[in-house]
Amino acid sequence: MTTPAEEVHTEAAAWFAANWSADLTVREWWRLLADAGWAFPSWPEGFGGRALGKEAARAAVRARHEAGAFGPPNGVATFLVAPTLMHYGTAEQQSRHLPGIVDGTAPWCQLFSEPGAGSDMAGLATRAQRDGDEWVVNGQKVWSSGAQNAAWGILIARTDPDQPKHRGITYFLIDMHQPGVEVRPLREMTGDAAFNEVFFTDARVAEADRLGELGEGWRVAMTTLSHERDPDNAGLGDTPPFAAVDLDQRVGDHAATVMHTADGFSLAMMGQAGPLFDRVVNEHADTTDPVFRQELMKLVSTRRTTQLSARRAAASVKAGGQPGPEVSTLKLQGSSLNRAMREVGLGALGAAGMLEHDDAPIDGLFHRYALFTPASSIAGGSDEVQHNIIGERVLGLPREPGEAEQRELPWSELPRS
């Protein structure tokens, strides 16, 4: 007897055999995938999906890989904006914004962190003030991945400075292509510029693009962040998340270059960390060395437990439910696994581990990933902050000293650095 997942696999395999062609343009291919519901199989019908359960959705993705077909769009739009919109968006907002997300015509960025508000995100100072049917935004964001290529941004801004810091924040969907938005790329130690500073000077957001209730932005942002920390997020794909995509390029030509143009951050987000590590070990390691074998075995078991934890957490999120604070444990496991793969992988390369770019083994791909790994302990909330969340919200330990009082003071009266 065939299982529902096997039936989905058979159906998807037949569809990919009939429809995948490297001669389509990226735009045509992404539209086809979205219309057929194979772009994001667990998402609702009509929004690039078929409302499949996790196991059946995985079977559909397996069928795509077996067919060698290029994946759907990937990035902030698919793994952060879409699930948040599905949860908090009105029907009008969903039908206006989700189609551009599923067919890749509207890339998005996340505008949460500020120079004075990273871990303490609730302390943010960017202001949004009501002006008729619009909001006027002033302030600065930072570390905004992919903002230089984004058409839209998810923005949290302070709408009431006289409320305590968590309560005076509202969540908006902001058009990045307007005169009041200036994006300045930042170069990282990897040599790439995936991050940006974003300055708002009297930028405009329509009231119709407020997501969630007025003053409820913190709650909406927590939903976004729980998806960011969830390694089993259905919107995480295997195509570059932050690149500017030429939608009119032949998809076969685009696919041929993606690995070699992706920065380390993108390689990690495309699920390439494990495969690149495996290539380093298979092609370059001295597996007869007893010390290396010992390190490798420790890593293999860490990788296995990380995968099992992610599967178990995914199974515990009920259909349509939202990931909870327990995803902080998965985030910690992920960053520690990244560090371990960097150390063992560079160790396997020996002296060649010191080379970079094209001089380095496997075209420098593992090096790009290795240089990125420190960032995985910071992005989406640092490791220390994940420990705090687990302590306070999972284990029920007391909050940090002084925090309770600060939570009740109006934001305008809080000391600022």
Ligand X SMILES: Cc1cc2nc3c(=O)[nH]c(=O)nc-3n(C[C@H](O)[C@H](O)[C@H](O)COP(=O)(O)OP(=O)(O)OC[C@H]3O[C@@H](n4cnc5c(N)ncnc54)[C@H](O)[C@@H]3O)c2cc1C
Residues at the interface with ligand X (CB under 6 A)? 109-113, 118-119, 143-145, 265, 375, 378-382, 384-385, 388, 400
CB-nearer residue toward ligand X: 39 or 77: 77
Q: Which of 281, 251, 268 is nearest to 349 (CA)?
A: 281
Rounded-to-integer distance, Cα 212 and Cα 224, Å: 12
CB-nearer residue toward ligand X: 42 or 126: 126
CB 258 within 8 A of CB 240: yes
Residues paired with residue 175 on neighbouring β-strands, in sequence order? 152
Segment holding 344, helix H or strand E: helix 327-349
CB-nearer residue toward ligand X: 60 or 117: 117
Which residue is nearest to ligand X, using beta carbons?
118
Rounded-to-integer distance, Cα 124 and Cα 115, Å: 9
Tokens 């439910």 -> residue: 321
Beta strands in 55-147 (DSSP E): 108-111, 127-131, 134-142
DSSP string, 272-284: -HHHHHHHHHHHH
In order of 284, 342, 348, the CA distances from 277 in angstroms are 10, 8, 10
Rounded-to-integer distance, Cα 179 and Cα 220, Å: 27
Buried b / exposed e over 205-225, threshold 16 CB at 10 Å, is beeebbbbeebbbbebbebbb
CB-nearer residue toward ligand X: 36 or 378: 378
Per annotation, catalytic residue among 6, 216, 228, 400: 228
Minimum Å gap between C-beta 265 and ligand X is 5
Residue 45 designated active-site: no
CB-nearer residue toward ligand X: 60 or 169: 169
Could you tell me which residues come within 8 angstroms of residue 129 by beta carbon, excluding any fewer than 6 positions away?
135, 136, 159
**Residues with catalytic roles:** 228
